[in-house]
Amino acid sequence: MDPDYSDIPEHESPVRRMIADHHGLPFRPLKTLEEARAFDDGVVILQGDWGSQIYAVIPAARIRCSLESLHRLLRDLDGIAWACNDGEGAAIYYERCPVGSGVAGGMGGGAVTGDIWIHGDFGDISEEIRDVISGNRESVETGNG
């Protein structure tokens, strides 16, 4: 009998929940950034198109920007990659993932490197993305303003 995935909690990535269950892999979702920061392996995952693209995988301890700036970063990246979705399907998830593990998702998924991992599609703005995460910039669009 197939599991019922109609009631996956909002803080869990449906894609990663289903993949983990199907393959018997560990899946350790968390509810908040604060909870993710409490674990050495806590990461923040920015994704778009309902998991069809992982934008960034960030160690929770490396995030110095506000939650507002983190959500703005997600909107900026989603607008670049999936403007046709008009913001639908973009999400931030908090999970426990050890360094060296992958983050399941489309377009190659993501990687937990111990540093900030950014999808190759954003190579031309990777420094701006890092600046937002470090709290030195408000958004990839506006610079320091």
- Average pLDDT rounded to a whole number, residues 43-70: 96
Task: Name the residue ranges covered by the structural domains of the chain.
Answer: 30-133
Q: pTM, whole model, 2 decimals? A: 0.93
What pLDDT band is residue 4 in, cutting at 50, 70 and 90?
Answer: confident
Identify which has the larger pLDDT, 138 or 58: 58
- The CA distances from residue 55 to 5, 13, 18, 42, 52, in Å, are 24, 14, 20, 17, 10
pLDDT digits (tens, 9 = 90+) for 19-39: 999 999 999 999 999 999 999
